[in-house]
Structure 1
Amino acid sequence: MKHIRMVIGIAFLTFVGCAPDPKSGKGFSLPEGDTEQGRRTFATLNCQACHTVAGVTFDDAETSPDQKIIALGGPKIKVQTYGDLVTSIINPSHRFAEGYAEDDVATDGQSKMRSYNDELTIQQLIDLVTFLESRYSVIQYDRTPYAPYY
Protein backbone atom coordinates (compact mmCIF):
# COMPACT_ATOMS: atom_id res chain seq x y z
CA MET A 1 0.00 0.00 0.00
CA LYS A 2 2.84 2.36 0.86
CA HIS A 3 4.44 1.73 -2.57
CA ILE A 4 1.14 2.39 -4.35
CA ARG A 5 0.81 5.78 -2.65
CA MET A 6 4.38 6.63 -3.57
CA VAL A 7 3.80 5.67 -7.24
CA ILE A 8 0.57 7.71 -7.31
CA GLY A 9 2.40 10.66 -5.76
CA ILE A 10 5.22 10.48 -8.32
CA ALA A 11 2.72 10.16 -11.17
CA PHE A 12 0.82 13.20 -9.88
CA LEU A 13 3.97 15.30 -9.59
CA THR A 14 5.07 14.21 -13.06
CA PHE A 15 1.68 15.13 -14.53
CA VAL A 16 1.57 18.50 -12.77
CA GLY A 17 5.21 19.22 -13.68
CA CYS A 18 4.48 18.52 -17.35
CA ALA A 19 1.31 20.58 -17.53
CA PRO A 20 1.69 23.21 -20.25
CA ASP A 21 2.07 26.78 -19.08
CA PRO A 22 0.30 29.21 -21.40
CA LYS A 23 2.99 31.82 -20.69
CA SER A 24 5.85 29.45 -21.53
CA GLY A 25 8.37 30.53 -24.15
CA LYS A 26 8.54 26.96 -25.42
CA GLY A 27 8.14 26.92 -29.16
CA PHE A 28 8.95 30.62 -29.57
CA SER A 29 11.45 31.36 -32.29
CA LEU A 30 12.12 34.08 -34.78
CA PRO A 31 13.37 33.74 -38.36
CA GLU A 32 17.11 33.59 -39.04
CA GLY A 33 18.78 36.98 -38.68
CA ASP A 34 21.71 38.69 -40.34
CA THR A 35 24.76 39.09 -38.10
CA GLU A 36 26.19 42.06 -40.00
CA GLN A 37 22.85 43.88 -40.01
CA GLY A 38 22.66 43.20 -36.26
CA ARG A 39 26.07 44.77 -35.75
CA ARG A 40 24.92 47.83 -37.70
CA THR A 41 21.71 48.04 -35.64
CA PHE A 42 23.79 47.86 -32.45
CA ALA A 43 25.91 50.78 -33.68
CA THR A 44 22.94 52.78 -35.02
CA LEU A 45 21.19 52.58 -31.65
CA ASN A 46 24.47 53.64 -30.00
CA CYS A 47 24.45 50.54 -27.80
CA GLN A 48 28.25 50.81 -27.63
CA ALA A 49 27.77 53.83 -25.35
CA CYS A 50 26.90 51.38 -22.56
CA HIS A 51 28.14 48.01 -23.87
CA THR A 52 31.20 46.36 -25.29
CA VAL A 53 30.87 43.23 -27.42
CA ALA A 54 33.54 40.53 -27.28
CA GLY A 55 35.77 40.63 -30.35
CA VAL A 56 34.03 43.64 -31.95
CA THR A 57 35.27 47.22 -32.18
CA PHE A 58 32.93 50.14 -32.73
CA ASP A 59 33.65 53.78 -33.46
CA ASP A 60 33.83 55.97 -30.39
CA ALA A 61 30.50 56.40 -28.68
CA GLU A 62 29.20 59.27 -26.62
CA THR A 63 29.42 58.16 -23.01
CA SER A 64 29.23 59.99 -19.73
CA PRO A 65 32.21 59.60 -17.37
CA ASP A 66 30.07 57.90 -14.70
CA GLN A 67 28.57 55.38 -17.16
CA LYS A 68 29.37 51.77 -16.27
CA ILE A 69 30.16 49.80 -19.45
CA ILE A 70 28.54 46.35 -19.51
CA ALA A 71 30.41 43.64 -21.41
CA LEU A 72 28.40 41.41 -23.74
CA GLY A 73 29.55 38.18 -25.36
CA GLY A 74 32.67 36.18 -24.71
CA PRO A 75 33.14 32.88 -22.91
CA LYS A 76 30.51 32.09 -20.27
CA ILE A 77 29.99 29.14 -17.93
CA LYS A 78 26.36 28.81 -18.99
CA VAL A 79 24.65 29.11 -22.33
CA GLN A 80 23.25 32.54 -23.18
CA THR A 81 20.14 31.46 -25.03
CA TYR A 82 18.37 33.19 -27.87
CA GLY A 83 15.39 33.67 -25.55
CA ASP A 84 17.62 35.25 -22.88
CA LEU A 85 18.90 37.77 -25.41
CA VAL A 86 15.45 38.63 -26.80
CA THR A 87 14.12 39.12 -23.27
CA SER A 88 17.10 41.24 -22.24
CA ILE A 89 16.44 43.62 -25.13
CA ILE A 90 12.66 43.92 -24.84
CA ASN A 91 12.53 43.80 -21.03
CA PRO A 92 15.94 44.78 -19.64
CA SER A 93 14.63 44.90 -16.05
CA HIS A 94 13.76 41.19 -16.01
CA ARG A 95 17.27 40.35 -14.83
CA PHE A 96 20.30 42.53 -14.28
CA ALA A 97 23.79 41.88 -15.62
CA GLU A 98 25.69 39.49 -13.38
CA GLY A 99 28.98 40.62 -11.91
CA TYR A 100 28.00 44.28 -11.62
CA ALA A 101 26.80 46.22 -8.60
CA GLU A 102 23.05 46.82 -8.84
CA ASP A 103 23.65 50.59 -8.59
CA ASP A 104 25.70 50.37 -11.80
CA VAL A 105 22.93 48.71 -13.82
CA ALA A 106 19.66 49.74 -12.13
CA THR A 107 17.86 52.61 -10.46
CA ASP A 108 14.98 51.90 -8.08
CA GLY A 109 14.80 48.29 -9.29
CA GLN A 110 14.58 49.24 -12.97
CA SER A 111 17.31 48.72 -15.55
CA LYS A 112 19.25 51.79 -16.61
CA MET A 113 18.94 50.51 -20.17
CA ARG A 114 16.24 52.47 -21.90
CA SER A 115 13.43 50.72 -23.75
CA TYR A 116 13.84 50.33 -27.50
CA ASN A 117 10.45 48.65 -27.97
CA ASP A 118 8.97 51.61 -29.84
CA GLU A 119 12.06 52.06 -32.02
CA LEU A 120 13.15 48.60 -33.12
CA THR A 121 11.50 46.82 -35.98
CA ILE A 122 11.05 43.09 -35.57
CA GLN A 123 13.72 42.53 -38.24
CA GLN A 124 16.16 44.75 -36.34
CA LEU A 125 15.46 42.78 -33.16
CA ILE A 126 16.03 39.50 -35.00
CA ASP A 127 19.31 40.75 -36.50
CA LEU A 128 20.49 42.28 -33.23
CA VAL A 129 19.88 39.05 -31.31
CA THR A 130 21.60 37.01 -34.04
CA PHE A 131 24.62 39.32 -33.82
CA LEU A 132 24.83 39.13 -30.03
CA GLU A 133 24.27 35.37 -29.97
CA SER A 134 27.24 34.94 -32.33
CA ARG A 135 29.54 36.67 -29.83
CA TYR A 136 29.00 34.21 -26.94
CA SER A 137 30.74 30.92 -26.33
CA VAL A 138 30.45 28.36 -23.55
CA ILE A 139 33.44 27.47 -21.41
CA GLN A 140 33.80 23.71 -21.50
CA TYR A 141 33.68 22.05 -18.12
CA ASP A 142 36.94 20.32 -17.19
CA ARG A 143 36.13 17.08 -15.47
CA THR A 144 38.25 15.94 -12.57
CA PRO A 145 40.15 12.81 -13.62
CA TYR A 146 39.51 9.90 -11.30
CA ALA A 147 41.50 6.70 -11.16
CA PRO A 148 39.43 3.56 -11.78
CA TYR A 149 37.89 2.06 -8.66
CA TYR A 150 39.08 -1.50 -7.97
Structure 2
Amino acid sequence: MKRLQSLILLLAAVGISGCDPQSRGFSLPPGDTQRGEQVFLNMQCLGCHTMEGYERPENTEDLSIALGGKVKSIKTYGELVTSVIHPSHKLAKGYDMSKIQNEEGQSVMPVYNDVMTVSELVDLVTFLESRYELEVYEPTDYSTRH
Protein backbone atom coordinates (compact mmCIF):
# COMPACT_ATOMS: atom_id res chain seq x y z
CA MET A 1 0.00 0.00 0.00
CA LYS A 2 2.89 2.34 0.84
CA ARG A 3 4.42 1.70 -2.60
CA LEU A 4 1.15 2.51 -4.32
CA GLN A 5 0.82 5.76 -2.38
CA SER A 6 4.41 6.70 -3.28
CA LEU A 7 3.79 6.02 -6.96
CA ILE A 8 0.54 8.03 -6.90
CA LEU A 9 2.41 10.97 -5.36
CA LEU A 10 5.14 10.58 -7.97
CA LEU A 11 2.59 10.61 -10.80
CA ALA A 12 0.88 13.68 -9.34
CA ALA A 13 4.19 15.50 -9.05
CA VAL A 14 5.18 14.61 -12.62
CA GLY A 15 1.76 15.77 -13.85
CA ILE A 16 1.98 19.04 -11.94
CA SER A 17 5.49 19.68 -13.22
CA GLY A 18 4.11 19.76 -16.76
CA CYS A 19 2.00 22.79 -15.77
CA ASP A 20 5.03 24.89 -14.84
CA PRO A 21 5.55 27.38 -17.70
CA GLN A 22 9.16 28.03 -16.65
CA SER A 23 10.11 24.34 -16.87
CA ARG A 24 11.67 24.24 -13.41
CA GLY A 25 9.43 21.29 -12.81
CA PHE A 26 9.86 18.27 -10.67
CA SER A 27 12.93 16.15 -10.31
CA LEU A 28 13.44 12.80 -8.70
CA PRO A 29 16.50 12.09 -6.58
CA PRO A 30 19.55 10.85 -8.49
CA GLY A 31 19.43 7.19 -9.39
CA ASP A 32 22.20 4.63 -9.43
CA THR A 33 23.04 3.02 -12.77
CA GLN A 34 24.38 -0.21 -11.26
CA ARG A 35 21.36 -0.71 -9.03
CA GLY A 36 19.18 0.13 -12.05
CA GLU A 37 20.87 -2.60 -14.04
CA GLN A 38 20.02 -5.06 -11.25
CA VAL A 39 16.38 -3.91 -11.33
CA PHE A 40 16.39 -4.36 -15.12
CA LEU A 41 17.63 -7.94 -14.72
CA ASN A 42 15.52 -8.81 -11.64
CA MET A 43 12.30 -7.57 -13.26
CA GLN A 44 13.16 -9.80 -16.26
CA CYS A 45 12.90 -6.96 -18.77
CA LEU A 46 14.91 -9.06 -21.23
CA GLY A 47 11.88 -11.34 -21.54
CA CYS A 48 10.39 -8.82 -23.98
CA HIS A 49 13.17 -6.29 -24.59
CA THR A 50 16.58 -6.37 -26.20
CA MET A 51 19.55 -4.26 -25.23
CA GLU A 52 23.03 -4.19 -26.68
CA GLY A 53 25.42 -6.12 -24.46
CA TYR A 54 22.74 -8.34 -22.91
CA GLU A 55 21.60 -11.77 -24.03
CA ARG A 56 17.94 -12.66 -23.84
CA PRO A 57 17.13 -15.81 -21.90
CA GLU A 58 15.91 -18.83 -23.80
CA ASN A 59 12.15 -19.41 -23.99
CA THR A 60 11.36 -15.69 -23.97
CA GLU A 61 8.30 -14.04 -25.47
CA ASP A 62 8.06 -13.79 -29.25
CA LEU A 63 8.51 -10.07 -28.79
CA SER A 64 11.68 -8.07 -29.03
CA ILE A 65 11.38 -4.34 -28.32
CA ALA A 66 14.77 -2.65 -28.39
CA LEU A 67 15.90 -0.41 -25.56
CA GLY A 68 18.92 1.87 -25.71
CA GLY A 69 21.35 2.25 -28.57
CA LYS A 70 21.73 5.03 -31.11
CA VAL A 71 18.61 7.11 -31.60
CA LYS A 72 17.72 10.23 -33.59
CA SER A 73 16.06 11.82 -30.55
CA ILE A 74 16.80 11.04 -26.94
CA LYS A 75 14.07 9.69 -24.70
CA THR A 76 13.58 12.18 -21.88
CA TYR A 77 13.68 11.13 -18.26
CA GLY A 78 9.94 11.80 -18.03
CA GLU A 79 9.21 9.68 -21.11
CA LEU A 80 11.17 6.78 -19.64
CA VAL A 81 9.39 7.09 -16.28
CA THR A 82 6.02 7.16 -18.06
CA SER A 83 6.95 4.11 -20.16
CA VAL A 84 7.58 2.12 -17.00
CA ILE A 85 4.67 3.27 -14.82
CA HIS A 86 2.07 3.62 -17.59
CA PRO A 87 3.17 1.49 -20.57
CA SER A 88 -0.13 1.98 -22.41
CA HIS A 89 0.33 5.77 -22.53
CA LYS A 90 2.37 5.57 -25.73
CA LEU A 91 2.96 2.27 -27.52
CA ALA A 92 6.26 1.61 -29.28
CA LYS A 93 6.30 2.52 -32.95
CA GLY A 94 7.40 0.16 -35.69
CA TYR A 95 6.12 -3.05 -34.10
CA ASP A 96 3.23 -5.37 -34.93
CA MET A 97 0.40 -3.92 -32.84
CA SER A 98 -1.12 -7.37 -32.32
CA LYS A 99 2.04 -8.32 -30.42
CA ILE A 100 2.40 -5.21 -28.25
CA GLN A 101 -1.22 -4.59 -27.24
CA ASN A 102 -4.07 -6.73 -25.98
CA GLU A 103 -7.69 -6.87 -27.16
CA GLU A 104 -8.53 -3.75 -25.11
CA GLY A 105 -5.77 -1.76 -26.83
CA GLN A 106 -3.59 -1.72 -23.72
CA SER A 107 0.12 -2.52 -23.70
CA VAL A 108 1.02 -6.14 -23.01
CA MET A 109 3.79 -4.84 -20.75
CA PRO A 110 2.81 -5.45 -17.14
CA VAL A 111 2.30 -2.42 -14.90
CA TYR A 112 4.98 -2.59 -12.21
CA ASN A 113 3.54 0.11 -9.94
CA ASP A 114 2.56 -2.37 -7.22
CA VAL A 115 5.80 -4.33 -7.51
CA MET A 116 8.55 -1.74 -7.89
CA THR A 117 9.59 0.78 -5.24
CA VAL A 118 10.16 4.41 -6.17
CA SER A 119 13.90 3.89 -5.54
CA GLU A 120 13.91 0.96 -7.95
CA LEU A 121 12.04 3.06 -10.53
CA VAL A 122 14.54 5.92 -10.22
CA ASP A 123 17.48 3.52 -10.52
CA LEU A 124 15.94 1.68 -13.48
CA VAL A 125 15.23 4.90 -15.38
CA THR A 126 18.77 6.16 -14.67
CA PHE A 127 20.13 2.90 -16.08
CA LEU A 128 17.88 3.03 -19.17
CA GLU A 129 18.74 6.68 -19.79
CA SER A 130 22.45 5.82 -19.75
CA ARG A 131 21.96 3.23 -22.51
CA TYR A 132 20.81 5.71 -25.17
CA GLU A 133 23.21 7.52 -27.46
CA LEU A 134 22.19 10.41 -29.66
CA GLU A 135 22.96 9.82 -33.32
CA VAL A 136 24.27 13.17 -34.49
CA TYR A 137 22.71 14.42 -37.70
CA GLU A 138 25.32 15.22 -40.33
CA PRO A 139 23.88 17.59 -42.94
CA THR A 140 24.93 17.13 -46.54
CA ASP A 141 27.67 19.53 -47.59
CA TYR A 142 26.35 20.90 -50.88
CA SER A 143 29.21 23.38 -51.29
CA THR A 144 31.51 20.68 -52.69
CA ARG A 145 29.00 19.38 -55.26
CA HIS A 146 29.11 20.61 -58.86
Q: TM-score, normalised on structure 2?
A: 0.77
Identical counterparts, % of pairs: 45
Please identify, of 28-37 and 82-91, the stretch whose mean Cα deviation from structure 2 is larger. Answer: 28-37
- Contact 2:17–2:26 (8 Å) recurs in 1: no
Deviation of 1:142 after TM superposition, in Å, equals: 0.9
* 3-state SS in 2 of match to 1:38: helix
Aligned match of 1:57 in 54, 59, 73? 54
Q: How many residues align?
A: 125
Deviation of 1:37 after TM superposition, in Å, equals: 0.5
Q: Match for 1:83: what amino acid? A: G
Deviation of 1:28 after TM superposition, in Å, equals: 2.1
Match of 1:117 in 2: 113
- Structure 2 segments unaligned to the other structure (5+ residues): 1-14
Match of 1:9 in 2: none
* 3-state SS in 2 of match to 1:142: coil
* 1:147 to 1:117, Cα distance in 2 relative to 1, 3 A: same
CA RMSD, aligned part only? 2.1
Match of 1:3 in 2: none
Q: Deviations over 1:89-124 (max 9, x none)?
A: 000001111211211211131000011000110100
Deviation of 1:60 after TM superposition, in Å, equals: 2.3
Runs of 4+ in 1 over 3 A off after TM superposition: none
* 3-state SS in 1 of match to 2:57: coil
Q: Deviations over 1:15-71 (max 9, x none)?
A: xxxxxx9571641221111111001011111111111122x325726524xx21111
* 3-state SS in 2 of match to 1:147: helix
Aligned match of 2:26 in 25, 28, 52? 28
Mapped to 2, the partners of 1:22 and 1:68 lie a distance apart of 34
Aligned match of 1:141 in 137, 140, 143? 137
Aligned match of 2:96 in 101, 123, 126? 101
Mapped to 2, the partners of 1:59 and 1:78 lie a distance apart of 25
Deviation of 1:145 after TM superposition, in Å, equals: 1.4
Mapped to 2, the partners of 1:110 and 1:59 lie a distance apart of 24
- Structure 1 segments unaligned to the other structure (5+ residues): 1-20
* 3-state SS in 2 of match to 1:111: coil
Mapped to 2, the partners of 1:100 and 1:80 lie a distance apart of 18
Q: TM-score, normalised on structure 1?
A: 0.75
